[in-house]
A and B are shown apart, each in its own frame.
Chain A
């Protein structure tokens, strides 16, 4: 679509609004990391000279910063290469360690692939996995969870915040239920940490995964919280070697990355309250501006229990990829099949009971620390403009306007 909506002064294109995929590095984080790429190059495991001590000190400071953000103690933080590894270590590590106790794991259909595919692999090794279906609003039903638990259940793994639809699962209640039943509770908190308050004791988490690059830190570094008491959680390591990280994760520590992750957590800790207010206001501004101008919009996911910066909308009767083409100077994501490698529409939206057609029409906005109100206004105007133009092109929108029920039509679909 030709661009009739011009960027106002002060808005620089392209605009990055895909902060669930990754976040830009905060300049304060970069500054903290830089010395560890240079003069402070020591190996944190070198115990007999100042280079090693310097690196170790930096790593321990980062451990404190991370622990503080989630209400843990420093000794409970294990460094990893990112949340995919953290999730793998948590789930496979528990599965192997507690094999004699049971072989049943409970998760949710809308988890990240790092959790779902890990569970699927365990199924091949004889574990049983229950995939709880979420409700239409994306939240799991605690009664479903209760019913799914049996005497062989060793682990419940439910994410804190969903990466596509931004809903916050009732992790406090889930944790309480797990504690009551003596089941370990892991939460993939990648999208939630640093965005909403999380306290591992309040939510009774046994394990918690987090990542650097979702909180304005560097890529390639993450952490796994592993509870040390009430009860102590044990893991079988995935990576064997020098016995780093109390034997749970061998491999020389990524000192610059860890320093960056620590700094990112410290900033999040200080800024979270204010930042979440600001992002919620920006999110609502974007939503309201779009809803004021366009009909036939569906907002996906429970908006009450929601991440501040997330907005997932289906622009009905407009296909997602063509929408992205029209707003190519704005970086967002779509649930459309055409934008995915598998040519399948978003499994998260489908798990909510949305039809493929609604999933095809969805856009995920991920508003972050560096987005401005002027950018929000530009994005809202641009969305309205492009959707209106594409709807002029849409035979479906035309039919709906004429009062035709699309569900009653026999479509001549190809095999695809």
Chain B
């Protein structure tokens, strides 16, 4: 299979590889996929409490080159975005940016799911963390 230059670049030089403390209340963790399907993505975001902006993003992925590239790209895009902006990232954006062929579209879907799961986890933590009645946005 021929990979696009961008997939090859992310595969050869993956951005933001690593893990953050999943118990940190400002860190949201999303893990999607399954080993028997051949891809598992773990994506984490760390949100700046004061600004509500994603200050850091990390990933680890078990999967094909396109899955690695999709999640690597996602971490690049997440940094500097607000939580709501992050949720607006669509799998089709990833497909277009990486020129993924049709058989690899599920990799981009998985990356979108990972973003949503990570943000969802963060929001859940914040909801549990904040005293009742307090609003997150100001």
B61 an interface residue at 8 Å Cβ cutoff? yes
B40 an interface residue at 8 Å Cβ cutoff? yes
B106 an interface residue at 8 Å Cβ cutoff? yes
The answer to whether A395 and B61 have CB atoms under 8 Å apart is yes
Q: Taking A393-B60, A395-B62 as contacts, is the C-beta distance between A411 and B33 under 8 angstroms? A: yes
Contact with B along A1-15 (1 / 0, CB 8 A): 110000000000000
A180 an interface residue at 8 Å Cβ cutoff? no
In the complex, how many angstroms separate the beta carbon of A235 from the nearest chain B beta carbon? 41
Query: Which residues of the other chain, A, contact B60 by a CB distance below 8 angstroms?
Result: 393-395, 398
In the complex, how many angstroms separate the beta carbon of A9 from the nearest chain B beta carbon? 25
The answer to whether A356 and B37 have CB atoms under 8 Å apart is yes
B64 an interface residue at 8 Å Cβ cutoff? yes
Q: Taking A345-B38, A355-B36, A393-B60 as contacts, is the C-beta distance between A321 and B31 under 8 angstroms? A: no
Contact with A along B26-51 (1 / 0, CB 8 A): 00000111111111111000000000
A281 an interface residue at 8 Å Cβ cutoff? no
In the complex, how many angstroms separate the beta carbon of B14 from the nearest chain A beta carbon? 6
Cα A395 to Cα B12 with chains together (Å): 18
Query: Which residues of the other chain, B, contact A177 by a CB distance below 8 angstroms?
Result: none
The answer to whether B12 and A394 have CB atoms under 8 Å apart is no
Query: Which residues of the other chain, B, contact A356 by a CB distance below 8 angstroms?
Result: 35-38
- The stretch that binds B, out of A137-145, A154-162, A335-343, is A335-343
The answer to whether A322 and B11 have CB atoms under 8 Å apart is yes
Tally of A-B Cβ pairs under 8 angstroms? 96
Q: Contact check: which of B33, B63, B110 meets A322 at CB < 8 Å?
A: B63
The answer to whether A360 and B3 have CB atoms under 8 Å apart is no
A317 an interface residue at 8 Å Cβ cutoff? yes
The answer to whether A414 and B110 have CB atoms under 8 Å apart is yes
In the complex, how many angstroms separate the beta carbon of A362 from the nearest chain B beta carbon? 12
Specify the main secondary structure of chain B where it touches its partner: mixed
Cα A141 to Cα B117 with chains together (Å): 47
Query: Which residues of the other chain, B, contact A355 by a CB distance below 8 angstroms?
Result: 35-36
Cα A360 to Cα B39 with chains together (Å): 9
The answer to whether B109 and A393 have CB atoms under 8 Å apart is no
Q: Contact check: which of A1, A357, A397 meets B36 at CB < 8 Å?
A: A357
Query: Which residues of the other chain, B, contact A321 by a CB distance below 8 angstroms?
Result: 38, 64-65
Cα A2 to Cα B37 with chains together (Å): 26
Q: Taking A1-B11, A343-B103, A393-B14 as contacts, is the C-beta distance between A414 and B113 under 8 angstroms? A: yes
Q: Contact check: which of A1, A2, A393, A412 meets B61 at CB < 8 Å?
A: A393
B57 an interface residue at 8 Å Cβ cutoff? no
Cα A391 to Cα B109 with chains together (Å): 23
Interface residues on A, range: 20 to 34
Tell me which residues from 25 to 81 in chain A have a Cβ below 8 Å from any Cβ of chain B.
none
B4 an interface residue at 8 Å Cβ cutoff? no
In the complex, how many angstroms separate the beta carbon of A7 from the nearest chain B beta carbon? 17
A392 an interface residue at 8 Å Cβ cutoff? yes
Query: Which residues of the other chain, A, contact B12 by a CB distance below 8 angstroms?
Result: 1-2
The answer to whether B64 and A338 have CB atoms under 8 Å apart is yes
B92 an interface residue at 8 Å Cβ cutoff? no
Q: Which of A321, A356, A397 has the most C-beta atoms of chain B within 10 angstroms of its own C-beta?
A: A321
Cα A254 to Cα B44 with chains together (Å): 62
Contact with B along A299-342 (1 / 0, CB 8 A): 00000000000000000011111100110000000001110000
Cα A360 to Cα B109 with chains together (Å): 20
A413 an interface residue at 8 Å Cβ cutoff? yes
In the complex, how many angstroms separate the beta carbon of A286 from the nearest chain B beta carbon? 24
Query: Which residues of the other chain, A, contact B42 by a CB distance below 8 angstroms?
Result: 395, 398
Cα A414 to Cα B91 with chains together (Å): 14
In the complex, how many angstroms separate the beta carbon of B81 from the nearest chain A beta carbon? 23
Contact with A along B1-17 (1 / 0, CB 8 A): 00100001001111001
7 closest residue pairs by CB, A with B: A411-B34, A357-B35, A413-B34, A356-B36, A395-B42, A321-B64, A395-B60
9 of the cross-chain contacts (CB-CB < 8 Å) are: A319-B63, A321-B65, A355-B36, A356-B35, A392-B17, A393-B17, A393-B60, A398-B42, A414-B32
